[in-house]
Structure 1
Amino acid sequence: MTKKPRIAIVIGSTRPGRYADKAAGWMLKQAQARDDIEAELLDLLDHPLPFFDEKGPLISAPSENPAALRWQEALARYDGFIFVVAEYNHSITGVLKNALDQAYQEWGGKPFTAIGYGGTGAARAVEHLRLIAIALRMVSTAASVHIGGADFMSTSPMGADKPIEDIEASLLGATKSSLDELVRWAHATMAAKAAEAS
């Protein structure tokens, strides 16, 4: 029997009152409803990381910071990732960028998708995430999920703060495409790693 990919849903915001909890919880529910994936939350609040303070880039120098080493150990357990992405000034949050920079080997050769939220559904931030991920040797899905415009305002604490289930009809198609791709790429990259190890 083929092993189910183990996927971390990385909550990429640590701001008090963050919308990320709502988006992450909903995405976890969608992933857990499938029989071809194992998903769990990986919250940056549980991994307080210093600003990158290593002796050199992790491609050539191993980490020494204990918090970074714990983060890398957590990442190593997963076969792929779903990033929960807020958009700050057309990019990802500083804490997410720092978390990406605090590992290298643990990201490499693994697939990811994203669920973004904000006025434009974090479309620009997700595209920026893809550029960063290329440098980390990750594999991006083409599809991603975007909660933007009226959908975002109706479910945001800044707006009507309705449950995300009120807008899920507009999210389910992209979510299925994203998760289907993520599973496909996870199996491909897992097989490639197994072949390299044999």
Structure 2
Amino acid sequence: KPHLNTFEYLYEFLPEQLTADAGYGSEENYEFLEQKKINTYVKYNTFDKEQGILKSKLKKKNEDFNRDKLYYNQDQDHYICPMGQTMKKIGERKRKTKSGYAQTSSIYSAQNCQDCQLRGACFKAKGNRIVERNHKLEAYKEKARRNLLSEIGELKQVMHKLVVYIAHKTVKIVNCEALVLRQKEIEL
């Protein structure tokens, strides 16, 4: 957001399309880009992992019980736990980011985890399992996923990686040459 505000100030326009790394895939940034009507190809933090691009060396235990693996019923606004139990909405959590952006998440709770056979694999905390869902962010992530997996999105991802790689290597080479030149000057 600050980068685009600066860009708009300097050049008096905004790009029609934007490609960026996962570090920029936040609810605040997605909303800003949507308001500015910019077509986006911006990854979110778990995109590469979802696509199998990044594989964790230490596979998490019980990954099948991750919130993202639970079935979510959008019409009735509840989750279904691995044992088939309905996890009802019990409230909302509001928070502000460092930049002051307000976010709202829904909180869902299972009703009876005490005697569940899967409890040890599902979660370790006392009481019933609780999950949190930021509906607005999930919608932005779904839109980002569609854009990134489109033909144009896949091409933009490849081009972005090449540009970033070339720029990174160029800076690295230039800095190394400057260091070598400085060393030679010192030696003389």
TM-score bin, normalised by smaller chain: under 0.3
Highest CA radius of gyration, 1 or 2?
2
Normalising to structure 1: TM-score of the pair?
A: 0.22
User: Greater relative contact order: 1 or 2 (C-alpha under 8 angstroms, separation 6 or more)?
Assistant: 1
TM-score, scaled relative to structure 2: 0.23
